[in-house]
Amino acid sequence: MATRVIDDSKLQNIAVAIQGKDGGGTMTVDEMPTRIAEIPTGGGSVEKKDVNFYDWEGTLLFGYSVEEVQAMISLPAPDTSPNYQSVDHDLLTFQEWNWSLANIKTWIQNHEGGCLDVGAIYTTTDGQNHDHWNNPRLTNAKSIYMQKRGVASIGYDAFYSCYSLTSINIPDGVTSIGYDAFYNCHSLTSINIPDGVTSIGNNAFQNCYSLTAVNIPDGVASIGVSVFRNCYSLTAVNIPDGVASIDNSAFYSCYSLTSINIPDGVTSIGNNAFYSCYSLTSINIPDGVTSIGNNAFYSCYSLTSINIPDGVTSIGYDAFYNCHSLTSINIPDGVASIGYDAFQNCRELYDIVIHGKPALSNTNAFSGAPSTQKFYVHRSDLSWYETETNWSTIYAQGKIVAAADYLDHLISIGIDVTDFENEVISE
């Protein structure tokens, strides 16, 4: 059967391919139809299966069943596919697949009935890596295919480094979003997470630089590690009441985040949770929180006030380091320890009210503050602060005083003085 060439832009490539097939020989016009037919185009010769391998331009190179993948000891080479056209890859050198064999086998074990697309990564002569997910045609096809399959989960790395992807619709049947699912989707501006989703994996939206807003459905129980890390444009996020923990680095470097409501069910705020959230001006920490992790609010330059609830027992090291706009802090009597450099470089922190006797990790915990900074404590606790490790240094500077002597001032800055009123000495 004759082959009809419909894309004139490919004629030169076809000619080169034919000449290459004959070792550089020439051909006549009469020979051309026969010679073209001899070139293996591979159209439709590869069937899409459970695990599919794609070329840079989106050509399906291999399709394997779960059983076939489990039996593999190495991944196939692209040029062994009947659909592979080397003439289309001038200046491109194959490097590897964007999934390893071990990770593919793990994925299919955890996603029964799912379909995994694997892309080839190439290096160009300029030394830059490229993979097929950076092809906009493929990213769109991926989204459509996911909806048609009716999948219940978006697996890990599913849209990893889809740099050009701007939006995606997640169908209602999805219940989980795997870790790294949208990692490095630099152009993604918005995403709708359906109500059925109950879990969002670690790093799921990390490095989504353009993402501005996210609504997290009520069924989600935790904000995982680095889920929104480096989402520089994120200005607002809704955290539902069912969330019990905000894990390490969850909102790390969300520079544009101005405010956030932490629901009552949250019991812990992880290390680096709001690290370098420069625009965050205020945050309400619910009563159920028992620990504030290391670097939790590190370099939150715009934070002017924060409440530490009665249930908190520890404040991690560097927890409020570089909170330049923080003017006062009320530390409840349940706090047993204050970590290294916890409030260092809080340049406007004039007033610290302490209702208990927490251990102080180092004398720099409150350094870099105004020279007029004062610590207000119970009158009966003054002798303890005078001799206690690290506190004694601050006491010797004359900064630790009886709160009862400063009731009017404390009331003016919004501090509850109930604990101190009975310590006032009558004139």
Three-class SS of residue 94? strand
% of the chain residues with pLDDT over 70:
79
Rounded Cα distance between 417 and 117, Å, is 62
Instruction: Report how far Cα 323 is from the mean position of its chain's Cα atoms.
Output: 23
pLDDT at 43 over 80: no
Alpha-carbon torsion 150, 154, 157, 163, what sign?
positive
Classify residue 354 by its DSSP letter: E
Share of the chain above pLDDT 90, in %: 44
Residue 320: closest CA among 335, 230, 33: 335
User: What would the pLDDT profile of 146-191 be if each residue is shown by its tens digit?
Assistant: 443 445 677 667 777 777 777 777 777 888 888 888 888 888 888 8
pLDDT band, very low/low/confident/very high, at 20 (cuts 50, 70, 90): very low
pLDDT band at 42 (very low <50, low <70, confident <90, very high): very low
What are the tens digits of pLDDT across the range 256-287?
A: 998 888 888 899 899 999 999 999 998 888 88
Instruction: Tell me the C-alpha distance between 318 and 294, whole Å.
Output: 6
- Domains of the chain (ranges, CATH numbers): 1-39 (no CATH), 258-427 (3.80.10.10)
pLDDT band, very low/low/confident/very high, at 6 (cuts 50, 70, 90): very low
DSSP 8-state symbol, 268: E
pTM of the model: 0.66
| Rounded Cα gap, residues 387 and 271, in angstroms | 31
Q: How many whole angstroms separate alpha carbon 178 and alpha carbon 328?
A: 41
Whether residue 267 contacts residue 241, with contact meaning beta carbons closer than 8 Å, is answered with: no
Q: Is 269 exposed, middle or buried (0-12, 13-18, 19+ CB in 10 A)?
A: buried
Lowest mean pLDDT among 128-132, 295-299, 408-412: 128-132
pLDDT of amino acid 145: 35
Displacement of CA 85 from its chain's centroid (Å):
38
